[in-house]
């Protein structure tokens, strides 16, 4: 779904469930330098949809992860690998999601661009 005013594009991952409803929402924002907010699960089809949306807009610079739950964070690692984008997010030391670096509880973490 595209908001024509802001240009914010919402893509829903194919992971329906009690906590995700129809699936995790990922957002693509920007028009030449692009950010993805919550890349979702490590799902090849969802990643392909994100990459297609990004390619239509420009270059992915940032992957923003709002929290490390398995429905929001695991897609970050492979998306960053495919694009060279920098990941930014709120990490936790008590749990480690696939592809997300362990950090101090309540700390912002970034990867090198």
Span 7-64, pLDDT tens digits: 799 999 998 888 888 999 999 999 899 999 999 999 999 999 999 999 999 999 999 9
> Can you give the pLDDT at residue 5?
66
> Can you give the pLDDT at residue 108?
47
Instruction: Locate the domains of the chain by residue range.
Output: 9-110
Query: And the tokens for 43?
Result: 């799902």
Looking at 66-70, 76-80, 88-92, 103-107, which range is the least confident one?
Answer: 103-107
Please say whether the structural domain 9-110 has been given the CATH code 3.60.15.10.
yes
Q: Which residues pair with 26 in a beta bridge?
A: 11
Please give the order of strands across the beta sheet that includes 9-12: 9-12, 25-29, 33-37, 59-65, 86-91, 107-110
Using CA of residue 19, residue 22, residue 23, residue 28, what is the dihedral sign?
Answer: negative
pTM: 0.78
Statement: residue 101 has pLDDT above 90: no
């Amino acid at each position: 779904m595209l908001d024509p005013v802001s240009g914010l594009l919402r893509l829903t991952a194919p992971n329906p469930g009690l906590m995700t409803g129809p699936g995790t929402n990922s957002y693509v924002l920007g028009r030449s330098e692009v950010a993805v907010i919550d890349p979702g699960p490590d799902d090849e089809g969802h990643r392909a949809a994100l990459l297609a949306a990004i390619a239509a807009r420009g270059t992915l610079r940032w992957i923003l992860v709002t929290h490390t739950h398995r429905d929001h964070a695991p897609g970050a690692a492979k998306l960053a690998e495919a694009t060279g984008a920098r990941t930014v997010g709120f990490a936790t030391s008590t749990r480690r999601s696939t592809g997300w670096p362990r950090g101090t509880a309540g700390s912002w973490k970034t990867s090198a661009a």
